[in-house]
Chain A
Amino acid sequence: MIEFKDVSKKFGSTIALNDVSLVFPRGKIIGLFGPNGAGKSTSIKLIMGLNRPDRGEVRVDGENPQNKKQDMAYLPEIDHLYPWMNIAQAADFTRTFYADWDETKYRELIKFLNLQENMKIAKISKGQRAKTKLLLTVSRRAPYLLMDEPLSGIDILTREEIINTLIRDYREGEQTIIISTHEIAEVESLVDEVIFLDKGKVKLSGNAEDLRVERNMSLVELMKEAFRDAN
Chain B
Amino acid sequence: MDFNASQPIYKQIIDDFKKKLIRGELKEGDKIPSQRDYAEQVRVNPNTVQRAYREMESMNMVETLRGQGTFISISADRLEEIKMEMAVNLVDYYISEMESLGYSQEDIFKILKQEQSFREGERR
Instruction: Tell me how far the C-beta of B5 lies from the nearest C-beta in chain A, rounded to whole angstroms.
Output: 3
A172 pairs with B8, CB closer than 8 A: no
The verdict on A218 contacting B6 (CB below 8 Å), with A164-B40, A167-B39, A167-B40 known, is yes
Q: Which residues of A contact B50 (CB under 8 A)?
A: 172
The chain B residue with its CB closest to the CB of A214 is B8
Per-residue contact bits, chain A 22-51, to B (CB 8 Å; 1 contact, 0 not): 000001110000000000000000000000
CA distance A167 to B39 in the complex (A): 7
The chain B residue with its CB closest to the CB of A172 is B46
B43 pairs with A189, CB closer than 8 A: yes
Q: Which residues of A contact B42 (CB under 8 A)?
A: 189
Q: Check if A63 is an interface residue, CB within 8 A of chain B.
A: no
A189 pairs with B3, CB closer than 8 A: yes
Interface size on B, residues (CB 8 A): 19
The verdict on A189 contacting B47 (CB below 8 Å), with A164-B40, A167-B39, A168-B40 known, is no
The verdict on A189 contacting B8 (CB below 8 Å), with A163-B43, A164-B40, A164-B43 known, is no
The verdict on A209 contacting B43 (CB below 8 Å), with A172-B50, A185-B5 known, is no
Q: Which residues of B contact A220 (CB under 8 A)?
A: 5
CA distance A213 to B8 in the complex (A): 6
- Interface residue from B39, B40, B51 paired with A209 (Cβ < 8 Å): B51
- Interface residue from A164, A167, A213, A216 paired with B45 (Cβ < 8 Å): A167
Instruction: Tell me how far the C-beta of B93 lies from the nearest C-beta in chain A, rounded to whole angstroms.
Output: 14
Q: Check if A170 is an interface residue, CB within 8 A of chain B.
A: yes
The verdict on A192 contacting B43 (CB below 8 Å), with A185-B5, A213-B8, A221-B6 known, is no
Instruction: Tell me how far the C-beta of A113 lies from the nearest C-beta in chain B, rounded to whole angstroms.
Output: 15
Q: Check if A85 is an interface residue, CB within 8 A of chain B.
A: no
B45 pairs with A192, CB closer than 8 A: yes
A209 pairs with B10, CB closer than 8 A: yes
The chain A residue with its CB closest to the CB of B9 is A189
CA distance A213 to B12 in the complex (A): 12
Q: Check if A71 is an interface residue, CB within 8 A of chain B.
A: no
CA distance A28 to B43 in the complex (A): 16
Q: Which residues of B contact A209 (CB under 8 A)?
A: 8-10, 48, 51
Q: Check if B32 is an interface residue, CB within 8 A of chain A.
A: no
Q: Which residues of A contact B44 (CB under 8 A)?
A: 167, 189-190
24 A–B contact pairs at CB < 8 A?
A: A27-B47, A28-B47, A29-B45, A160-B43, A164-B40, A164-B43, A167-B40, A167-B43, A167-B45, A168-B40, A170-B45, A170-B46, A185-B5, A189-B5, A189-B45, A190-B43, A190-B45, A209-B9, A209-B48, A212-B5, A213-B8, A216-B7, A217-B6, A219-B5
| Further 19 A-B residue pairs, CB within 8 A, beyond A188-B5, A192-B45 | A28-B47, A167-B39, A168-B40, A170-B45, A172-B46, A188-B3, A189-B3, A189-B5, A189-B44, A190-B44, A192-B47, A209-B9, A209-B10, A209-B48, A212-B5, A212-B6, A212-B8, A212-B9, A218-B5
